[in-house]
Structure 1
């Protein structure tokens, strides 16, 4: 190539690049799968929300030391069953995405601004992927451990300028008649909890849905039930897994993520044209925002249990693509060196409750000895009196900021104290711009490239199922 041709071509490249957002470093070519001859009939899209790499690592270590086994996610790698990639998670207006923009990147195939759901800055909308699959004749749905109206499920389902408008999102689901929608969020369906007193449950019933609110009701559903299913099992999010495991009432009333996933797959698989479902471990993100190590790792393990349900089905079915990933990192937790690292980390074996449970049981009238006793009973270690007094001091003002902390409890303080006993450290309490893990199993996975953008997965799913070609 002549020198002037090289520079002319370089100029053209720069000019073309200027057409795209400065954050869109990879252009707009979303097609990363080209017909391989293997078509996926079904897709199970699994999201551990807010999962930094350290979360995946520590959950695996916890299972190895506590149960003598690997996580199901890591076992896929060890057995060379899954294709693996890194994914860039940026949104349209930031290197650091939020869950709404992240899910919209997958759901709508376009990067949007943080806080919006498949809504572009110019006011136009991008059609959500579950609507596309529903129109193609497939059964569709979402299962989550947070409100079903929350950002990650909503990003696959609807368009809204604000992720915060969960009252409206609940109503937007109504005409879609998706086959399965399960999680928390009674606050947005129950007239006694909605500010407008609208009986959204009644509207779903009148529209032909079957509604369940307890695990017993869910498990008692007839296998021949064909109506769309709405399952709402908590006012807001479902309880942290570590709290759920040690409370007989919660065990009886609220299904686990794995249990909901199994019920959903059993219902959706009856469609001869296939199904697509999103499964979200949403409280992994909530725990990371709170630097809550027990909430984090045991919810990651609960998500991993749901992975087993998905992989067991896919291995038997042979026509199901399982996608396992996260939407972004959060707080970047990890184990850090020290002479007592392994011994300290082993305290995690004995945790019965999350930091959320611990702090909600303390008030300004508590004593330092009561705090020491509460933590020792809940998590197996005894903090110092000075540490208990430092925690107690926060209850005179209760002014800590942070997401998912409406009572402004001292999560940061407890997380810092806890680090000395567990060797788990945190980089912050917010999302990060890290490239994240992406794994695939099943037909179509062989076409996964080693590095992709979040938006690439939209057309990947449409191509893997041959739906884009059909449309």
Structure 2
């Protein structure tokens, strides 16, 4: 693609660039040719939504339910775009407690999603690429598994494949994040109640010839292939496999993430013992990798809107802790200027890879005060374990 064609493509997305350079980048959800490598990009959002005021009062000292929300590849600047691109307001501002997480893995100063997710799910540092393992390479029990053993209902939601690194780190134990078929089998090692994402091919079109869809049916899951089938589910176990691999970006899939999260909460909350749910906004990370500001901001808004839906539930419930964070930052993304009155931002990147910077942690509900300060990412899991008395 030549420079003129690149500028025309950027203009079609409402993005202008003051400097472009050719660079190849292969990452899920976008074309193999990187959309743009920039000094600065101006983007004007086409979506806004009202933000409801949420009370921060809780009726419990300890949480019965925990919702962990991970916006993959998201640093402070990415979270700020949810505010600045939406009439200077966002649900992330309704989180009363803020802290910061240091994200280094066991073997690398700059983590990946596998080690980052595993630290949040297990409280152990692991090597980049490892799923649900501890410092010695052994399986480390996850928050989801601990809650399952305690009799709570459990769930996972992602806009990537459900076997991708972050959701996998809450349910699987594998030496490599690339082992999607083995990770899919690990879903049968727990009694998980709800999981919704892409990744159908890792259950149905496998090299070993196994048909895990039939096995899910035998275990009593309703297997759904569309968001309408997901939202029509009112009880029982649910496996939503909404794409062969990753789901399409927000501009194509629409409100799948908030609808999936609301459905999961309705199903999981039927258990009087409580529940654990992890919700990942997977594709903010892909916007960072591709230096694609439209993808980054639209995915960030989708995540924030979904957070709003979870906050509305938690406010009414009074016994639900919500923890919002990221596994790492991607792209060295910054907001350089803009006009918030017009929902226009000027942004730039320093990288097409992960960075080593701290990432924010936000908390709401009973026990939220535990999450203030600066700490290792492993402390997020340990704080939740302490509050829920998990072992």
Q: TM-score, normalised by structure 2?
A: 0.81
User: Which 4+ residue blocks in structure 1 deviate beyond 3 angstroms?
Assistant: 120-123, 345-348
Which piece of structure 1 moves more, 445-454 or 131-140?
445-454
- 1:71 pairs, out of 71, 90, 98, with 90
* Partner residue in 1 for 2:63: 40
* Partner residue in 1 for 2:147: 133
Distance 2:158 2:328 in 1: 17
Distance 1:169 1:321 in 2: 28
- 2:352 pairs, out of 429, 448, 456, with 429
> Which structure 2 residue ranges, 5 or more long, are not aligned?
1-59
Aligned residues of 1:39 and 1:466 also touching (Cα < 8 A): no
Aligned residues of 1:54 and 1:332 also touching (Cα < 8 A): no
Instruction: Select the structure of larger CA radius of gyration.
Output: 1
Q: Does 1:284 align with 2:278?
A: no
Q: Does 1:263 align with 2:272?
A: no
Secondary structure at the aligned position of 1:54 is classed as helix
* Partner residue in 2 for 1:357: none
Aligned residues of 1:140 and 1:268 also touching (Cα < 8 A): yes
Change (3 A) 1:115 1:178: same
Q: Does 1:209 align with 2:206?
A: no
Decide which structure has greater strand share.
2
The CA deviation at 1:347 is 8.5
* Partner residue in 1 for 2:211: 199
Give CA-to-partner distance per residue, 1:27-75, whole Å, 9 cap, x none.
xxxxxxxxxx8111000000000012221122311111xxxx511102x
Pairing 1:238-249 to 2, within 5 Å after superposition: 238-245=247-254
Secondary structure at the aligned position of 1:336 is classed as strand
Aligned residues of 2:75 and 2:358 also touching (Cα < 8 A): no
* Partner residue in 2 for 1:177: 191
Distance 1:281 1:195 in 2: 28
Decide which structure has greater helix share.
1
Give CA-to-partner distance per residue, 1:405-447, whole Å, 9 cap, x none.
xxxxxxxxxxxxxxxxx73211110111111110100001123
Secondary structure at the aligned position of 2:86 is classed as helix
Change (3 A) 1:336 1:195: same
Matched residue pairs, number? 332
The CA deviation at 1:448 is 2.6
* Partner residue in 1 for 2:83: 60
RMSD after superposition: 1.9
* Partner residue in 2 for 1:92: 106
- 2:126 pairs, out of 82, 95, 112, with 112
Q: TM-score, normalised by structure 1?
A: 0.68
